[in-house]
Structure 1
Amino acid sequence: MKFVLALLTTALPALVSGSACSEVYETLVDDFVKDNFDVKLMEGTFYELAYHDYTQPRNLCGCERSVKTIDTATEPVSINDLFTLKCPAGANGKDQITHLFFNTTESPGVLSGKCSFFEPLSGDDVCPDYLIDVGTREVGAPYPWLLELQCVERKNGDLLFAGINFYAKDKSNETLTEMMASAESHGLAQFIDGGFPSGLEIVDHTDCTYPDEDA
């Protein structure tokens, strides 16, 4: 926790002053998502192909996977996200398991997650999670991939954290290329190139094994 807070305090410059995340929904989220988002269509097993996210270790771990289960019995509808990775990467690594939880919001394509470790600097324990693109333009079709952006502001409105996750139901280079093109066309380069550390971490799933999906 102290390490994370040290990064938050010293390492990340503000990319935008005053209201870093205020226009994310209007300007970055794809219109298809805003008009047609259905949380039930994001259920399933997704492999993280790349990320820009300093809360995840770089060059140490790998085999990142997200198993998303939708609970429609709750109000609002909730997403149980079983996130796993191996440290070190590869078949001989040790599974690291985290249970994440998100709720739907009144804005289609925007989820709400808890991130209490940001609260001392943001003044809030909520992390908005924006579904920027979902990999299909067919209404009612399950989403083959998810391009997610978590955007958190400091108390003064400057950018505190921008986490970008490339989740896909397959692990192909073709899908990653398609997702990277979507990230570029939707304006995420400003966060990827300007954040700390800059750039994307590409996940190698070679020789990966994964824990049970009900771990």
Structure 2
Amino acid sequence: MIEPDPKADLLRYLQDARDALLWKLDGLSEYDVRRPLTPTGTNLLGLVKHVAGVELGYLGDTFGRPFFGAERPPWWYTEDAEPNADMWATADESRDGIVGLYRRAWEHSDSTIAALPLDAIGHVPWWPEERRETTLHHVLVRVLSDTQRHAGHADIVREIVDGSVGLSKSGDSMAVGDQTWWEGYRGRLERAAREADDRHGV
């Protein structure tokens, strides 16, 4: 019988989400990784920058293991940063710099996860006072959930940019079909939506 290892399971799914998010940048121009593709500005490099900050905060600061230590953190990581500062990259911020920070955040997070039991107590300084105390288990689930959510955003944004889809570069998480098949599939969905609207629409 296989012994359950909840920490290893959570970390494996977190790493899957990290990898899925990062590959969405591959092969794109500086413009395409940065340009806003929704009315609220969602962009690929901004998503990576955001999840880097999420990991550094929740799996670093929360457990008294600050990543930056005495080093001055980047402007967008400070309490007085402008709204959404972590959701986009300035022209001065390089793709390599943001991706590199995210990879270093993984290492820092993974060392926290390895060093502490799942029931280790941490304190989230930006949560309301009455619920700041939490556990590594809770925080790890939260970071995993947030990363998967943003990887899903990246799926859609990358498909808009150049049609690339799937959990990985291989695209093997998608139904098998050529462009004609997908056009037919999309047309079928469109017809079903219109028919439902005719039948049930208000």
Mark yes or no: TM-score above 0.5.
no
Higher strand fraction (1 or 2): 1
TM-score (norm 2): 0.27
Normalized against structure 1, the TM-score is what? 0.26
